[in-house]
Structure 1
Amino acid sequence: MAIISASRRTDIPAFYSDWLFNRLEEGYVLVRNQYNPRQVSKIRLTPDVVDCLVFWTKNPWPMLERHGEQLRNLPFPFYFQFTITPYGNDIEPGVPAIEETMETFVALSKEFGKRRMVWRYDPVLLTDTIDIDWHISRFAAMTERLAPFADQCIISFIDFYKKMEVAVRKVGCRKISTEDMRMIAREFSAIATSHNLPLATCAEAIDLSEFGIGHASCIDAKRIEGICGGRCKVGKDKSQRKECGCVESIDIGAYSTCRHRCLYCYANHNPEKLIANSQAYNLDSPMLCSNVLPDDKITLRAMKRSVDKS
């Protein structure tokens, strides 16, 4: 059995929930190998092989609105990695206003319980107008609203990936010094602690333990054990960065398909490809924003048990 990630590569709840629930009904999904596109994995999505489903999203409202009843009746546990940041449309063009997304967060927490809700304030970035005080003020206001409904808050500092560096430089993004990271961590920790909200970093090398901030596992063995009621047996996901604490999962998304178009996003660096992929979206296809081609080689993915409930 396996942990399914939906998805680090795109926002399935925001844009592709019709496709997802079609795939769940069909019981499988096809995923292209990002390095060798003609290699395709067939991944089963049935309760006998799936232990847990992890949603990554900035706007799950479309999924909740369209498929709320199906979500309530999913045959396996799930939880949300829900990113809410206070940036404007110059940085996150397709993301709804935070007032809307915070209301959705609260609604999901009330419906499914705070144990399934992780708030991501991710990434922290600095410009000439977005300074440390700006972040502290907004993080404080957002924490006051979300802390009663979130099980944890995860933060990270912007990484300057080569493919998106030009875009973030256009809005004046600068690299964050270690001193700035520590200052932000100290203030964020004080705010989170005052609201009893655990705070951790995602895939960061810096040690912030003196502020009570640990290193997060977003695909989290302990969270999955708590939700699933068993012992998580899988180890670290070796396909992720060295600093990443996630356990192994299977991602069913596709790159260059997310219409949020966030400037800092590593998964969406080619606007022309995004347009082409979006136009290729077919909710009845077994692949996200693609179709099976004659020379595709489809292989059934081996899925080992992730949670031992014995």
Structure 2
Amino acid sequence: MVIISVSRRTDIPAFYGDWFINRIKEGFAMYRNPMRLTQVFAVSLHPKDVDAIVFWTKNPKNFLDKLKYLEEYTYYFQFTITPYGKDIEPGIPSKDEVIETFIELSNMIGKKRVIWRYDPIIITDKMDLKYHKEKFEELCEKLSPYTQKCIISYVDFYSKAVDELNRINAKDLAAEELYNLFGAIGSIGKKYNLSVETCAEDVPVEELGLKKAHCVDGELIKELRKEKGFHDNKEYKKDNNQRKACGCVQSIDLGIFNTCKHFCTYCYANFSRNSILKNAKKYDVNSPLLCSRLDLEKDEIRIREKDGSIKLDKEAILKAEANQKELMAQLDFYEYEKISLEENSNNWLIEKIIDYLRKTKQETLL
């Protein structure tokens, strides 16, 4: 079983919700290895194979009517609301509209499952500590009845964003300045009974009464799964693919870089506006890949396993088909689906992929 991240790399609820729900209906999704784009991984999205889904978004308004398709899943939202205007977040609707969506989502799924992110904090000559204290308190007044937790972090000067951050004269704070900033924000959060946590920061915030965040949170997932009647008490491993100070547990991210149309100046996941617009044109709600299509003359498909992956080649397909025929000779369709999932989820997933390749007339390329 896996945790699915949707997504650190783009805002799927805001822009690609129809694609994600199609993947839920089909029972699987694919994603490219960002370090080797011709390597494509397939992952089952069957409820039996998914521990939880973590959504990351700044505007899920158009996704709310799709939550009905997720009733069998454990999920929660990381929902970012900052005080910035169109000069920094040009693609975000008005704050009033976003706050209204936050409240609506919380009323639908409960405030435990809607985590507010005041992130990233950017300090400039105009947006100083006083500015952030005032804006954070204004947002606390509006959001605290609808969430239990706020996650904060200071902006990272990634090479992809440094020119834009320099344009607005963003300041790279020293450790002591960060300590004072987080302490001030944390004190305000406490007034509103919010648990304030820092994301991937080395500052010793525990002595301020704050916690270090686990944005993909194994303990929260176990708690939410227990509420749904699951008592598996699984131990989740730290995600070593993230930054050293990151507290997240392992997950699989279905997103792709250079596809988020919020165009935020501080974003680490976008390289250029032209690349975003070019990739967005590749969006196909029926493709198993986000903003991309399989090219089996170049792409290598791999099936995720507990301790690695296996290549989907003719041998794997023949083995899956033989298993399918053997089971179906003994069982009716519904019994077969149940047994196939319980005994070998990989066979079930391979069959789903083969069905897709047949529909798109690509199966002969394997």
Query: Under a length normalisation based on structure 1, what TM-score does the superposition of the two structures give?
Result: 0.94
Return the alpha-carbon distance in structure 2 between the equivalents of residues 126 and 238 of structure 1.
29
Q: 2:260 maps to which residue?
A: 258
Q: 1:38 maps to which residue?
A: 38
Whether 1:223 and 2:225 are equivalent positions in the alignment is no
Return the alpha-carbon distance in structure 1 between the equivalents of residues 112 and 78 of structure 2.
11
Q: 2:139 maps to which residue?
A: 142
Whether 1:191 and 2:193 are equivalent positions in the alignment is no
Return the alpha-carbon distance in structure 1 between the equivalents of residues 67 and 179 of structure 2.
40
Q: Please give the per-residue CA displacement for 1:198-232, whole angstroms capped at 9, x wherever unaligned.
A: 01100001111222111100001111011011423
Report matched runs for 1:1-310 at 5 Å.
1-65=1-65, 67-71=66-70, 73=71, 75-229=72-226, 230=231, 231-293=233-295, 294-303=297-306
Q: Offset at 1:110?
A: 1.0
Letter of the aligned partner of 1:153 in structure 2? Answer: C
Structure 1's unaligned 5+ residue stretches are 305-310
Q: Offset at 1:81?
A: 0.5
Return the alpha-carbon distance in structure 2 between the equivalents of residues 26 and 124 of structure 1.
39
Q: 1:162 aligns to what SS in structure 2? A: coil
Q: Which runs of 4+ in 1 moved over 3 A?
A: none
Return the alpha-carbon distance in structure 2 between the equivalents of residues 97 and 173 of structure 1.
23
Asked whether the equivalents of residues 49 and 303 of structure 1 are also in contact (C-alpha less than 8 Å), the reply is no
Return the alpha-carbon distance in structure 1 between the equivalents of residues 258 and 62 of structure 2.
20
Q: 2:358 maps to which residue?
A: none
Q: Please give the per-residue CA displacement for 1:148-174, whole angstroms capped at 9, x wherever unaligned.
A: 111210000011011210111111212
Q: Offset at 1:100?
A: 1.2
Q: Tell me the matched-pair count.
A: 301
Return the alpha-carbon distance in structure 2 between the equivalents of residues 39 and 187 of structure 1.
46
Asked whether the equivalents of residues 22 and 286 of structure 2 are also in contact (C-alpha less than 8 Å), the reply is yes
Return the alpha-carbon distance in structure 2 between the equivalents of residues 134 and 303 of structure 1.
47
Q: 1:258 aligns to what SS in structure 2? A: coil
Q: Please give the per-residue CA displacement for 1:5-50, whole angstroms capped at 9, x wherever unaligned.
A: 0000100000000000001101111101111111000111001110
Q: Offset at 1:107?
A: 1.0
Distance 1:278 1:90, change over 3 A: same
Return the alpha-carbon distance in structure 2 between the equivalents of residues 302 and 104 of structure 1.
37
Q: Offset at 1:303?
A: 4.6
Q: 1:307 maps to which residue?
A: none
Return the alpha-carbon distance in structure 1 between the equivalents of residues 141 and 234 of structure 2.
33
Q: 1:18 aligns to what SS in structure 2? A: helix
Return the alpha-carbon distance in structure 2 between the equivalents of residues 29 and 128 of structure 1.
45
Q: 2:294 aligns to what SS in structure 1? A: coil
Asked whether the equivalents of residues 154 and 199 of structure 1 are also in contact (C-alpha less than 8 Å), the reply is yes
Letter of the aligned partner of 2:241 in structure 1? Answer: S
Which has the larger displacement, 277-286 or 228-237?
228-237
Return the alpha-carbon distance in structure 2 between the equivalents of residues 235 and 252 of structure 1.
19
Asked whether the equivalents of residues 222 and 232 of structure 1 are also in contact (C-alpha less than 8 Å), the reply is no
Higher percent of residues as helix: 2
Return the alpha-carbon distance in structure 2 between the equivalents of residues 89 and 213 of structure 1.
31
Q: Offset at 1:128?
A: 1.7
When Rg is computed on C-alpha atoms for both structures, the one with the higher figure is 2
Return the alpha-carbon distance in structure 1 between the equivalents of residues 234 and 122 of structure 2.
34
Return the alpha-carbon distance in structure 2 between the equivalents of residues 100 and 200 of structure 1.
25
Return the alpha-carbon distance in structure 2 between the equivalents of residues 303 and 261 of structure 1.
36
Q: Offset at 1:141?
A: 0.8
Return the alpha-carbon distance in structure 2 between the equivalents of residues 61 and 150 of structure 1.
17
Asked whether the equivalents of residues 125 and 176 of structure 1 are also in contact (C-alpha less than 8 Å), the reply is no
